[in-house]
């Protein structure tokens, strides 16, 4: 916890705003922040992010925890709070509470191959893990990596500026898909058209050694995990992160529960075996 009082926000200055999507269907921007009192966090965790006089919303960390002097959040314009965040520019003040929630079990995953599948904005909570694992200090602890990025259209990919760097990482194969054919997209053995759950069988991976990490809309996660299970993968080896509506972030308000679990403290990261034991409310 950044402070002893989890309700007390820390002041942060927006250092930079980056437009991520170039499409008519969604508007996503990344905010790079410098906190007055920086804190450590782990890939998969989230914060409560507020604008004074407007309100508070929940966002996952979108930058590597190994970067100490700044942190990034990638935010889609969805409603009142996010519209107001989207009006802010570099130099503005925002407020951060956190870090909250569990994280991807990076220690437990050592020695395994990794298969990331991210749909649209779902790449944001995966990016801290991706960059952490690619750090030279940690890359040797993991095996082969498949990265599979999905978006509605070419303009809907976020972090497109990272793709070339990631695709050149050692022992890594990088794939992309978009939902439907467009003139600007050339299909080949790494660039597909179609939903990811219909395509994973085209991607070679070792079923026994691989951990799948899936982030994206609930429909995509359900279809994808069914496809991985149909190929023979055990649900314990498939991880995802949930986005339930949250208020307190610390297990007190009861807003985010699924059955007996509070997504803010028991999650947001779960494996599919754990989700299989919970009511289908996500």
Ligand X SMILES: Cc1cc2nc3c(=O)[nH]c(=O)nc-3n(C[C@H](O)[C@H](O)[C@H](O)COP(=O)(O)OP(=O)(O)OC[C@H]3O[C@@H](n4cnc5c(N)ncnc54)[C@H](O)[C@@H]3O)c2cc1C
Residues near ligand FES, by CB under 6 A: 246-249, 251-256, 262, 264
Q: Please give the C-alpha separations between residue 96 and each of 44, 129, 262, in angstroms, as whole numbers.
A: 16, 21, 21
Spatial CA neighbour of 115 closest among 197, 206, 28, 20:
206
Tokens read off for 69: 């002097």
Q: Where are the alpha helices (H) located in 135-217, listed in sequence order?
A: 163-167
* 48 part of the interface to ligand X, by CB under 6 A: no
Binding status of residue 120 toward ligand X by CB under 6 A: no
Q: Which does 253 bind (CB under 5 to 8 A by kind): ligand FES, ligand X, none?
A: ligand FES
Are 55 and 104 in contact by the 8 Å Cβ rule? The answer is no
110 alpha-carbon distance from chain centroid: 19
Which segments within the chain are labelled E, that is strand?
Answer: 10-19, 28-35, 46-51, 55-60, 71-76, 93-100, 113-119, 145-151, 172-178, 191-193, 210-215, 238-241, 257-258, 261-262, 269-271
Question: Quick one: how far is CA 234 from the chain centroid?
Answer: 22
Q: How far apart are the first and last CA of the chain?
A: 26
Stretch that binds ligand X, among 103-111, 171-179, 199-207, 240-248 (CB under 6 A): 240-248
Q: Which is nearer to ligand FES, 88 or 244 (CB)?
A: 244
> Which of 14, 78, 92, 203: binder of ligand X (CB under 6 A)?
78
54 binds ligand X per the rule CB under 6 A: no
Phi then psi dihedrals of residue 52, to 5 deg: -55, 130
**Interacting stretch for ligand X, rule CB under 6 A, among 71-79, 126-134, 138-146, 274-282?**
71-79
> Shortest Cβ distance from residue 118 to ligand FES (Å)?
24
| Residue with Cβ nearer ligand X (167 or 247) | 247
Task: State yes or no: residue 124 binds ligand X (CB under 6 A).
Answer: yes
Query: In terms of CB distance, is 15 or 265 closer to ligand FES?
Result: 265
Distances (CA, A) of 275 to 24, 51, 157, 243: 34, 33, 28, 13
What is the distance between the alpha carbons of residues 39 and 98, in angstroms, rounded to a whole number? 9
Pick the closer one to ligand FES by CB: 112 or 247. 247
Q: Which of ligand FES, ligand X, none does residue 43 bind to, with CB < 5 to 8 Å depending on kind?
A: none
Q: Which is nearer to ligand FES, 151 or 248 (CB)?
A: 248
Q: Does 246 bind ligand X (CB under 6 A)?
A: yes
Select the span of 13-21, 58-66, 182-190, 221-229 touching ligand X (CB under 6 A): 58-66
Residue ranges in contact with ligand X by CB under 6 A = 46, 57-60, 74-76, 78-82, 121, 124-125, 243-246, 268
């Amino acid at each position: 916890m950044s402070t002893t009082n989890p309700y007390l926000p820390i002041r942060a200055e927006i250092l930079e705003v980056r437009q991520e999507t170039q499409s008519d269907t969604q508007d996503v921007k990344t905010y790079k922040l410098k906190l007055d009192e920086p804190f450590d966090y782990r890939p998969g965790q989230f914060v409560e992010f507020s604008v004074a006089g407007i309100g508070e919303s929940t966002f996952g960390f979108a930058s590597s925890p190994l970067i100490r002097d700044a942190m990034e959040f990638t935010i889609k314009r969805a409603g009142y709070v996010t519209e107001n965040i989207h009006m802010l520019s570099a130099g503005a003040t925002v407020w951060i509470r956190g870090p909250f929630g569990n994280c991807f079990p990076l220690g437990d995953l050592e020695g395994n191959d990794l298969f990331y599948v991210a749909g649209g904005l779902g790449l944001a909570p995966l990016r801290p893990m991706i960059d952490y694992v690619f750090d030279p200090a940690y890359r040797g602890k993991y095996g082969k990596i498949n990265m599979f990025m999905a978006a509605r259209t070419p303009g809907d990919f976020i972090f497109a500026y990272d793709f070339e760097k990631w695709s050149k990482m050692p022992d890594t194969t990088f794939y992309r898909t978009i939902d439907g054919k467009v003139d600007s997209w050339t299909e080949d053995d790494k660039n597909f058209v179609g939903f990811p759950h219909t395509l994973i069988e085209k991607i070679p991976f070792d079923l026994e050694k691989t951990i799948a990490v899936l982030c994206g809309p609930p429909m995509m996660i359900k279809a994808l995990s069914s496809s991985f299970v149909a190929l023979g993968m055990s649900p314990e080896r498939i991880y995802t992160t949930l986005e339930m509506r949250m208020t307190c972030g610390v297990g007190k308000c009861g807003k985010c529960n699924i059955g007996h679990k509070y997504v803010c403290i028991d999650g947001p990261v779960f494996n599919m075996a754990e989700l299989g034991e919970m009511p289908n409310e996500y």
